[in-house]
């Protein structure tokens, strides 16, 4: 019995059965969002926002030369109200 979630085979122009390509092409607006969020948001959050897997986001970021590494704020530079020490109120 075939799985329900398995894609149906397709016939190409030579009438040969083939499986559809499961990869989604990155659209321009997704790339803009990825560039805006890279380095500011964790990769998991970017993936959720874009509706993609973390691996897909990491791969595309690498192709674009983007780093997904976020800078950690040290606790000593934050005050009790969450503002950074040395910031102007």
Question: Any idea where the domains of the chain sit in the sequence?
Answer: 26-68
pLDDT at 69 > cutoff 60: yes
Token look-up 């607006």 returns 29
Query: Tens digits of per-residue pLDDT, 21-49?
Result: 677 899 999 999 999 999 999 999 999 99
Distance CA 57, CA 33 (A): 11
What is the rounded average pLDDT of the residues 54-68? Answer: 95
3-state secondary structure of 58: helix
Compare 29 and 11 and report the one with higher pLDDT: 29
Of 16, 26, 65, residue with least CA distance to 47 = 26
* pTM for this entry: 0.59
User: What number of other Cβ atoms are within 10 A of residue 82's Cβ?
Assistant: 7
Average pLDDT over residues 78-88: 59
């Amino acid at each position: 019995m075939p799985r329900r979630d398995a894609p149906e085979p397709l016939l190409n122009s030579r009438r040969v059965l083939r499986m559809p390509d499961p990869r989604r092409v990155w659209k321009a607006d997704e790339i803009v969002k990825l560039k805006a969020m890279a380095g500011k948001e964790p990769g998991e959050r970017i993936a959720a926002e874009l509706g993609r897997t973390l691996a897909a986001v990491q791969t595309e970021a690498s192709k674009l030369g983007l780093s997904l590494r976020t800078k950690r704020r040290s606790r000593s530079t934050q005050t009790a109200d969450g503002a950074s020490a040395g910031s102007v109120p």
